Structure 1
Amino acid sequence: MSASAIVMMLVAMVVIWGGLALAIVSLVRHGAVEDRDEGVRRDL
């Protein structure tokens, strides 16, 4: 592979993993992960 292809691949990986990390941090900060267990139990 050429150097430009390697650089583009690394940039794409940083963007994807960075976006995933930001999404997880956002969910944890807003409490969406902690409240998940209480919403699952329902009386039918």
Structure 2
Amino acid sequence: MGVKKAQISKIENSFTNARFETILKVFRALNTKVKFTVETN
């Protein structure tokens, strides 16, 4: 997947903030789509 197990564990347990690139790698490995929405007031 290109992401270390320790890094995934930290993300799952909220010990770190994941980089966008890392999040995309995880979703690609899981063969899923990701959609982000940005809203302003």
Q: TM-score range by the shorter chain?
A: 0.3 to 0.5
Query: Which is bigger in relative contact order (C-alpha 8 A, separation at least 6)?
Result: 2
Taking structure 1 as the reference length, the TM-score comes to 0.31
Taking structure 2 as the reference length, the TM-score comes to 0.33
Would you tell me which structure has more helix in proportion to its own residues? Answer: 1
